[in-house]
C-alpha cells in the first residue's frame, strides 16, 4: 500500500440560499460554508467520509494548497493508502460555523448592518455546527455518509451527528472526546474567554479594522496549549532547559524553553485566528452535553452507526474515562462499539500526532465493510412476465444497468442487464423470461465486501442483488462501489 | 486530647538591622519580616516548629486576629491537641520575602527612592526566603528547629532548609511538593505572569496608588485555582450546574456555577494580594530546582533531618510521583524518610483541607520523639574531687540546676544538684564526693521520650544525663523540656 498525498487542493465555498435556524432560537440569515474534498465520490455516493475539526482547525484537513510547504492539519491520516484512503473514500471537511476560516462566523458581515457581526453573532452550538455540515452534505447530493470522523471538538460533532441524524451515517469515529463538557474543561475555556474579554482591544467584540485583542487571545491559546500537552511530553521536550542563556536570569525575561514555546504558540495563533471565534467556539464546547435526564445512555437512544471510540492514555483534558463513558452508554443502547486507548505520552494532542496508531486503528475500522454498509436499498426491480420493451424502457428511464427480476410473490427469480437486452434485440426475443439469467449470483447483508467482490470477479458480473432469508431483494451492490472500497481501482 | 484554638494572635514585625544578600548576587538593603507565633518556647528552645506558607499564604497560619471570625489558613492542624500541638510546640510562621503580607516585597518602600520597589524589587528565590526565615529564627534565639513543615511552595522551603542548613532542623514535613519545578508547573505560572504583565494597569510594575492590574491578577488566580482542584472534586462540587438560571443563556454571561466560582476566586484575590508579589513568588517557584548535575540524590547530599513526605492521590499539579522522587533521593542518602499518600479527591488543595488525615499522620510523626531529638548536647559537667565551693560557682555562673560528675576518664560517676549544694552547706561538707548522688538514673539517645519522662517521674528527678555505651555523657534532658513534648503541662 503506497501512502501518498491527497495532492493540491483548494478550499471551496458554498453559499446556502436559505437561513439557518439555530438551537438558541435565533436565525442565521446568511450561511456560507468553506469546505474541501479529497478523492472521488462514487456513483452510488456511498463512499463519503465527513471529517469534523477541533477548536482551532479549518476545512484544510489534507493535501496542499498551491504553493504551500505544509499540508493540511490531519494529512497524516488522509491520502492514498492512509486510514482515510482517498483512493477509496470521498473525504469532506468544512469549517465550522462560528469559525474564522471561511464559514460564517463573528468576523463575517452582518447583512442587517453591513458590518462584521462581532459580539452580535448569535451563540452557536455543536448541534448547529452539525446542521450546517448536513446542509453542505445535502448540497453535495449525498444522502448518507459512509463515516463521520473527528477528534476533540470534532469528536463531539461526530456524536452529535449520530444522535441527531442516526440514519445519515454508517460509521462514527470519535477520538479524544467526551459526551459532555466537564467543569474543569469549562473552567479552562472560561479563563481563555476572560483573557480575551479583559483585553481592552477586545472592545466588546468590535475590533475589526482596529487594534486586535492579541494579548488576550495569545493568553487563551497559551492556557489551551498547556492542556493539550501532557506533563510527560513537556518533560521530554523541554525539561528545565533554558532559552538562549546559560543560567537563570534573575529577571522577568524568558528563562525557560517552555516559556518561549508557549509565547510562540500564543503569538502565532493571534496571526491566524479571530478572538471572537475563540469565544464562540469555546462556548459551543461548554454547552455540549449529550446526557438526557442526567444519563448518557438515554442521550444516545436511537443511534444506529457502528462506533469506533479512541482515547489517549496521557490525555488529561479529555481523559480516557470520558471515552469509556461513551462506550458504556453506546453499548447499553446495543450499538456496535469498538474501543481503543492509544498508548501515547503526547497528551490530548496525540489525536493529531499519533499517525501510526491512528492509521492502523481507524483504517481497519473503516475498511472492515460488510455488504450492508455499501448496498443500495432503493432497488429498482421488474416482475417476471414483462416484455423486453417495457424492461428496456425501465432501464433507460432509471439509468440502470441491472434489474433484478421478481416473482409475483416478490422473490428473486432472475436478473436482467442491458447486455441481455442487446442480445434479445439481436435474437428477436420479445419476453423477458427468454433472456434473463436464472442462476443469479447473490449476496447477503452480512457478507464482507471482499467476498462479494470476489464473487463478482469470478462470475464476471458487475452487480449482486442482496437477498434476505426469504429470497426477497433488500438491496444491490455494484462492482463500481465495491472495487473502490476494497482498494482495487478508481471509481 | 482536646482539640482547641491557638486563640487570639497578632502579627509581629521584625526589622532586621543588616542587609540580606540574595542568591542573585543582589542585596536587599532593608529587611522586614512579619511573623506570628503560637504556644511557648521551652527553656531549652528545643520545641520550635517553623511553618512555611504557599504562594498566596501569609504569617497568619492559626488562631484568630482580634475581631476576625475566620482563623488562620492552617488552623485545622495547629492548636492545642492538633498535629502542631501548641501545648507542646512553639509554632512560628513568617510571611515570605517578596510577599505582600508584611514582609519586605515589591510593594515595600525602596530605601533608595522612597517609593515602592515595584519591578525594581530584586528577583528572589526559595533559598532567599529560607535565609530570611533563618534570620528570624536566630533573632528568636533558637539555634535549632524541632521541625520545619510546609505544603506546596511551603514544602519547597522545607526541602531548601534541609539542604542548606542540615544541622538546623531535626524533622522535616514536606507536603504536596516537588524537588524541582517541572515545565508544566512553569507553564501555568508563566500564563499567570503573562496575564498580569499584559494588563495595561500593570504599567511596568509601577501601579501603587493608581489603578491596579486587577484583571490580570484575577486571571492568574483563576488559572492557578483550576490547578489546585481535581477534575473529580470539580465534578462533585459543581458538575454542570447552572448559576442563577434554569437553562443555558446562549450569551456570554455566566452560565455555569464553576464559572461563577472562578470569577469569585479571581476577584476576591485581587483584594488581598499584590500583583507584583504574584510575579516574584511564581518566579521563585519556577527557579526552584534542588537537583545537582541532574540528580536529586546528589542535591540532597548531606541532609540530616528525619523526613515525612506526603503526597495527595488526586494532585495533578504536584503529582505523587514527584513526592516519590523526593523519597527515593532522600533514601539514597540514607536519610530517615516516611512517605504517605493521602487518599483525597480534593487535588492539590487537599494539603489545606484534609485535616483529619494530616492531623493523624503529621501528629504521629512529630510526636514520635526519642531522647536524641530533644537532648541538650552542650552539657556542662564537673570532675569528681572538686570542692563544693567550685561546684556551686560553676552552677551559678552557668545558671544550671544539674551537673553530671565525671571520673578522670570522662565517665559518669554521679550527679549533683543545687539541692545537694544546699544540703552540703547545712551539713558543713566541703567536698563534692560527700554529697553527689552516685546511683545516677540515666537514659540513652534512642530511648523514647515517654520512657525517659516516666523515669524522671518515678525517681522524682528533674534531669537525666544521656550516656553512650561507654558511659560517656553525650547529652542531658530536663523534665521541663520533656513534659511539654509529651503533653503533660506547660513549660
Interface mutation vs chain B, best among A190, A222, A290, A316, most B CBs within 10 Å: A190
Residue B202: its pLDDT value, please? 98
pTM metric for this prediction: 0.82
Domain extent listing, chain A: 8-236+273-368, 373-485
Taking an 8 Å cut-off on Cβ atoms, the answer to whether B200 and A195 are in contact is no
Q: How far apart are the first and last CA of chain B?
A: 18
pLDDT band at residue B398, thresholds of 50, 70 and 90? Answer: confident
Q: What dotted CATH number matches A8-236+273-368?
A: 3.40.50.1820
Residue B112 has pLDDT above 80, yes or no: yes
Active site residues of A: 152, 315, 348
pLDDT band at residue B422, thresholds of 50, 70 and 90? Answer: confident
Nearest to A258 among B119, B187, B252 (CB): B187
Residue B489 has pLDDT above 50, yes or no: no
The separation between CA A38 and the C-alpha centre of its own chain, rounded to angstroms, equals: 12
Share of chain B above pLDDT 70, in %: 98
Residue A346: its pLDDT value, please? 95
Q: Which residue, A459, A420, A418, A468, is CA-closest to A440?
A: A459
Q: What dotted CATH number matches B12-186+198-212+223-238+275-368?
A: 3.40.50.1820
Q: Which residue, B144, B146, B223, is CA-closest to B187?
A: B223
Q: Which residue, A389, A396, A376, A442, is CA-closest to A415?
A: A442
Q: How far apart are the first and last CA of chain A?
A: 18
Give the list of residues 6+ apart from residue A413 with CB closer than 8 angstroms, or none.
A384, A405, A406, A407, A436, A438, A440
Give the list of residues 6+ apart from residue A371 with CB closer than 8 angstroms, or none.
A443, A444, A445, A446, A447, A448, A449, A452, A464, A466, A475, A477
Q: How many Å apart are CA B29 and CA A71, to the nearest integer?
A: 58
Residue B491 has pLDDT above 50, yes or no: no
Interface mutation vs chain B, best among A191, A237, A270, A288, most B CBs within 10 Å: A191
Answer for the pair B91, B39: CB distance below 8 angstroms, yes or no.
Answer: yes
Taking an 8 Å cut-off on Cβ atoms, the answer to whether A252 and B283 are in contact is yes
Chain B residues with beta carbon closer than 8 angstroms to that of A229: 184
3-class SS letters over B78-146: ECCCCCECCCCCEEEEECCCCCCCCCCCCCCEECCCCEECHHHCCCCCHHHHHHHHHHHHHHCCCCCEE
Residue A289: its pLDDT value, please? 98
pLDDT band at residue B423, thresholds of 50, 70 and 90? Answer: confident
Residue A116: its pLDDT value, please? 98
Q: What dotted CATH number matches A373-485?
A: 3.10.580.10
Q: How many Å apart are CA B408 and CA A343, to the nearest integer?
A: 73
- Angstrom CA distances, B101 to B13, B96, B158, B168, B197, stand at 11, 8, 20, 26, 21
Residue A491: its pLDDT value, please? 32
Chain B residues with beta carbon closer than 8 angstroms to that of A218: 194
Residue whose grid cell is 534532658: B477
Cell readout for A179 is 459526551
Give the list of residues 6+ apart from residue B428 with CB closer than 8 angstroms, or none.
none
Q: How many Å apart are CA A146 and CA A49, to the nearest integer?
A: 6
Residue B302: its pLDDT value, please? 96
pLDDT band at residue B485, thresholds of 50, 70 and 90? Answer: low
Closest chain B C-alpha to A263 CA, distance in angstroms: 9
pLDDT by 10-residue block (mean), chain A, 491 residues: 82 97 96 98 93 98 96 96 94 98 98 96 98 98 97 98 98 98 98 97 97 98 97 94 94 95 97 98 98 97 97 97 97 96 95 93 88 84 90 84 89 87 80 88 87 86 88 87 57 32
Taking an 8 Å cut-off on Cβ atoms, the answer to whether B279 and A252 are in contact is yes
Nearest to A191 among B184, B219, B255 (CB): B219
Q: Which residue, B202, B204, B224, B203, is CA-closest to B213?
A: B202
Report the mean per-residue pLDDT for chain B.
Answer: 93
Amino acid at each position: 500500500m503506497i501512502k501518498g498525498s491527497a495532492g493540491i487542493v483548494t478550499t471551496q465555498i458554498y453559499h446556502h440560499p436559505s437561513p439557518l435556524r439555530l438551537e438558541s432560537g435565533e436565525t442565521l440569515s446568511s450561511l456560507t460554508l468553506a469546505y474541501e474534498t479529497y478523492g472521488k465520490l462514487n456513483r452510488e455516493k456511498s463512499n463519503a467520509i465527513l471529517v469534523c475539526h477541533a477548536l482551532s482547525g479549518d476545512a484544510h484537513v489534507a493535501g496542499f494548497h498551491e504553493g504551500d510547504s505544509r499540508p493540511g492539519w490531519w494529512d497524516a491520516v488522509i491520502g492514498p493508502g492512509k486510514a482515510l484512503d482517498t483512493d477509496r473514500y470521498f473525504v469532506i471537511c468544512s469549517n465550522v460555523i462560528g469559525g474564522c476560516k471561511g464559514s460564517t462566523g463573528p468576523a463575517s458581515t452582518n447583512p442587517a448592518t453591513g458590518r462584521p457581526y462581532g459580539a452580535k453573532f448569535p451563540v452557536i452550538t455543536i448541534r448547529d455546527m452539525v446542521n450546517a455540515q448536513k446542509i453542505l452534505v445535502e448540497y453535495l447530493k449525498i444522502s448518507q455518509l459512509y463515516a463521520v470522523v473527528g477528534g476533540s471538538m470534532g469528536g463531539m460533532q461526530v456524536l452529535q451527528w449520530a444522535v441527531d441524524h442516526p440514519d445519515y451515517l454508517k460509521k462514527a469515529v470519535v477520538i479524544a472526546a467526551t459526551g459532555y463538557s466537564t467543569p474543569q474543561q469549562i473552567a479552562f475555556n472560561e479563563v481563555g474567554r476572560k483573557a480575551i474579554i479583559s483585553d481592552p482591544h477586545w472592545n466588546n467584540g468590535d475590533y475589526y479594522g482596529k487594534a486586535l485583542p492579541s494579548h488576550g487571545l495569545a493568553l487563551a491559546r497559551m492556557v489551551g496549549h498547556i492542556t493539550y500537552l501532557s506533563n510527560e511530553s513537556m518533560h521530554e521536550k523541554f525539561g528545565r532547559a533554558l532559552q538562549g542563556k546559560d543560567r537563570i536570569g534573575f529577571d522577568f525575561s524568558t528563562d525557560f524553553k517552555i516559556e518561549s514555546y508557549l509565547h510562540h504558540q500564543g503569538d502565532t495563533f493571534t496571526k491566524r485566528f479571530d478572538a471572537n471565534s475563540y469565544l464562540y467556539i469555546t462556548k459551543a464546547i461548554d454547552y455540549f452535553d449529550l446526557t438526557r435526564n442526567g444519563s448518557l445512555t438515554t442521550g444516545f437512544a436511537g443511534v444506529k452507526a457502528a462506533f469506533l471510540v479512541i482515547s489517549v492514555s496521557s490525555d488529561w483534558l479529555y481523559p480516557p474515562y470520558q471515552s469509556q463513558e461513551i462506550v458504556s452508554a453506546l453499548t447499553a443502547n446495543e450499538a456496535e462499539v469498538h474501543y481503543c486507548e492509544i498508548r501515547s505520552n503526547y497528551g490530548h494532542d496525540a489525536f493529531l500526532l499519533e499517525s501510526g496508531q491512528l492509521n492502523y486503528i481507524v483504517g481497519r475500522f473503516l475498511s472492515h465493510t460488510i455488504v450492508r454498509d455499501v448496498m443500495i436499498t432503493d432497488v429498482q426491480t421488474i416482475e417476471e412476465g414483462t416484455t423486453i420493451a417495457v424492461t428496456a424502457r425501465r432501464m433507460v428511464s432509471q439509468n440502470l444497468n441491472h434489474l433484478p427480476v421478481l416473482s409475483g410473490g416478490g422473490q428473486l427469480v432472475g436478473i436482467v442487464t442491458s447486455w441481455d437486452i442487446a442480445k434479445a434485440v439481436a435474437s428477436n426475443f420479445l419476453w423477458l423470461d427468454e433472456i434473463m439469467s436464472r442462476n443469479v449470483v447473490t449476496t447477503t447483508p452480512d457478507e464482507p465486501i471482499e467476498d462479494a467482490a470476489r464473487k463478482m470477479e469470478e462470475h464476471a458480473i458487475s452487480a449482486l442483488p442482496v437477498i434476505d432469508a426469504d429470497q426477497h431483494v433488500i438491496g444491490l451492490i455494484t462492482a463500481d462501489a465495491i472495487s473502490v472500497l476494497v482498494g482495487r481501482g478508481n471509481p
